[in-house]
Amino acid sequence: MFVAVISVLPPSSRRLWRAARSALVAALAWAAAGGSVAAASLTVLMGDDMAASSEFVQQLRADQEPGGRFELVRVSPGAPGAAQPEAAAAPDTERAANAGVRTRGLRPSAADTPLTMAVGPAAARAAVERPGQEPLVLAMLSRLEYETLKASSPALRRGDRRVGVLLRDPAMADQLALVNAVLPQKHRVGVVATPESEPLVRELQRAAQGANPAWDLRVEYAPDARSIASALRQVVPQSDALMVLPDLIGDNQAATLSVLRAAATAGLPVFGASEGLVRSGGLAAAVSTPSQLAQQARQLGQKVASAGTGSGNSNNAPLVEAATPATVRVNATVARGLGLRLPEERELTDRLAAPR
């Protein structure tokens, strides 16, 4: 993996820079504990050019304080040397990163609270593998991407660095809450999953069991995203609604359309976590926008920084948060086709935002 650094210091000043950084981290922890101070120094690693990532980064920059340092580092996936050890690769990495630097802001000062934020899975992997002890926030990751990263990167649990993870998908409890808001009388929810979806399924099952009344969850596993017909045939007759998880099926357009067709044929509503799903035939989805995620990520960064400086958590487990749903999208045409009368999107959003 190739890492580019926008701004680097002279080698003679590194020792001094480390001492100053420790002081800065302490100051940031203090500011975070006070709850009113934003990180003054923010390094953003961006691994892709998707519109959502760009919107996320743009929102981060917009929220940056005028005196704070904002550094954007673009990570090119698949670059040579990605598998090199961090210690030996660090200077080269920094040097090579000069090529992709777009200097944007101010040079960091000793008083800034440094925070590194990785956008997307590629950037997250690069950030985890990067040496350093500054707090790290991994944003715009799906649950499965996070699970994969966790399984493949032991560096994620390093003791000298606090890591926060912001998932881009809403929590399963929020999804079930949306289903309950739309179909108050229905309790049977069907899910078609693949073996890779197991973490999601477990979360969903936990959320279902924790709800009151408990959901009747029907989960069928398909061998892969291209062979879901059999599972659909099992699930559809026993469900009042289908839910598309953000897994291989939810990311596969053909599989998603199959689920939508099956549901439409059977007259079942489909719930998901993306606006595209609603546009393509789903009934409703709890959606988090990149801007809202950026704000949530900045808050998560403050949490991570303050936790690192304040408590000295020895657990070393990353602080994981699901996306807080910003809004609810409803397909009125589908609702009309299903003969449902739904509340307004704003009302549903409010219901979802209400504390449970």
Partner 1 sequence: MSSVPPSHDPAGPSGTEGAGTPSQSPPSPSPPPASFQSPHTLVVRGNLQRDLFRLGVVPCAAVALALTGWFTHNRLQTLEAAFDAEGQAVARQVAAMSDLSLYAGDVPALQNVANAALRGGQVTRVEISNSAGIYVTAGPKTASLAQLRMFTSPVTLREASRASAFAPAGSTAAGDTPIGLVQTFRDTTAYTRERSRSLIAGIGIALVALMAAWASVRHMARTVARPLRRVSRTVAALEAGHFEVRCDVVEGGTRGTHELAVLAHDIDRLAERLQRNRQISEERVREATAVALQRMAEAEQAALSRARFLAAASHDLRQPLHAMGLFIDGLLPGATPAQRPAVLRLQESTEFMGVLLDDLLEISRLDAQVLTPAIAKVPLAELFDQLDAQHAAAAVEARVRLRWSDRGLAVRTDAAMLRRIVGNLVTNALRHAPEGGTVLVAARRSAGGVRIEVRDNGVGIAPIHQGRIFEEFYQVANTERDRRRGFGLGLAICARIAALLGTRITVRSALQAGSTFAFTLPAARLADVAPPQPAPMAPAPLVGLRCLVVDDDPAILDGSRALLEQWGCQVECVSTGAEAIARLGTGDIHYDAVLCDLQLAGDGDGVDVIDAARRLQPEALAVLVSGATGPEVLQRLRHGGVMLLTKPVAPAKLRALLTTRRQVPAH
Q: Closest CB to partner 1 among 111 and 266?
A: 266
CA Rg, the chain, in Å?
A: 22
How far apart are CB 349 and partner 1 at their closest, in Å? Answer: 21
- Name which position in 118, 322, 334, 348 contacts partner 1 (CB under 8 A): 334
Nearest to 305 by CA among 39, 46, 13: 39
Among 322, 325, 311, 345, which Cα is nearest to 274's?
325
**Residue from 211, 337, 340, 345 in contact with partner 1 (CB under 8 A):** 337
The stretch among 57-65, 111-119, 197-205, 231-239 that binds partner 1 (CB under 8 A) is: 231-239
Single out the segment in contact with partner 1 by CB under 8 A; choices: 35-43, 124-132, 183-191, 227-235.
227-235
Burial of 51 (0-12, 13-18, 19+ CB in 10 A): exposed
Q: How many residues line the site for partner 1 (CB under 8 A)?
A: 29
CB of 343 to partner 1, least distance (A): 18
Enter the tokens of residue 213.
């009344």
Cβ proximity of 258 and 248 under 8 Å: no
Instruction: Note whether 226 binds partner 1 by CB under 8 A.
Output: yes
The correct pick among 224, 254, 311, 316 for binding partner 1 (CB under 8 A) is 254
Binding status of residue 227 toward partner 1 by CB under 8 A: yes
Toward partner 1, which CB reaches closer, 4 or 243?
243
Token couple for 275: 């606006």
**Which of the ranges 110-118, 200-208, 232-240, 306-314 carries the binding residues for partner 1, by CB under 8 A?**
232-240
Backbone phi, psi, residue 64, to 5°: -70, 140
How many residues are present in the chain?
A: 356
In 30-126, beta strands by DSSP E: 41-46, 69-74, 114-119
Give the nearer residue to partner 1 in terms of CB position, either 92 or 224.
224
Minimum CB distance to partner 1, residue 271 (Å)? 14
Question: Does residue number 232 form part of the binding site for partner 1 (CB under 8 A)?
Answer: yes
With CB under 8 A as the contact rule, the residue among 115, 178, 208, 236 that binds partner 1 is 236
Residue 314 or 333 having the CB closest to partner 1: 333
Burial 184-204 (b: 16+ CB within 10 A, else e): eebbebbbbbbeebeebbebb
Please tell me the distance from the alpha carbon of residue 193 to that of residue 337, in angstroms, as a whole number.
26
Interactions with partner 1, residue window 259-318 (CB under 8 A): 259-262, 264-267, 279-282
User: Restricting to residues 72-111, which ones interact with partner 1 according to CB under 8 A?
Assistant: none
Measured CA to CA, the distance from residue 24 to residue 114 in angstroms comes to 7
Q: How far is the CB of 235 from partner 1 (least distance, A)?
A: 9
Binding flag, residue 188, partner 1 (CB under 8 A): no
Nearest approach, Cβ of residue 276 and partner 1 (Å) = 10
Q: Which of 143, 105, 106, 150 is nearest to 125 (CA)?
A: 150
220: Cβ–Cβ under 8 A, 6 or more apart, which residues?
190, 191, 192, 193, 231, 232, 234, 235
Instruction: List CB contacts of 129: < 8 A, sequence separation 6 or more.
Output: 1, 86, 153, 155
Min separation Cβ 236 and partner 1, Å:
6
Q: Quick one: 23 or 229, whose CB is closer to partner 1?
A: 229
Indicate the residue among 211 and 264 with the shorter CB distance to partner 1.
264
What is the side-by-side strand order in the sheet with 319-323? Answer: 69-74, 41-46, 114-119, 136-141, 163-170, 319-323
Which amino acid makes up residue 31?
A
224 near partner 1 (CB under 8 A): no
Residue from 107, 233, 346, 356 binding partner 1 (CB under 8 A): 233
Residues that bind partner 1 in the complex, under the rule CB under 8 A: 226-229, 232-233, 236-237, 254, 257-262, 264-267, 279-282, 331-334, 336-337
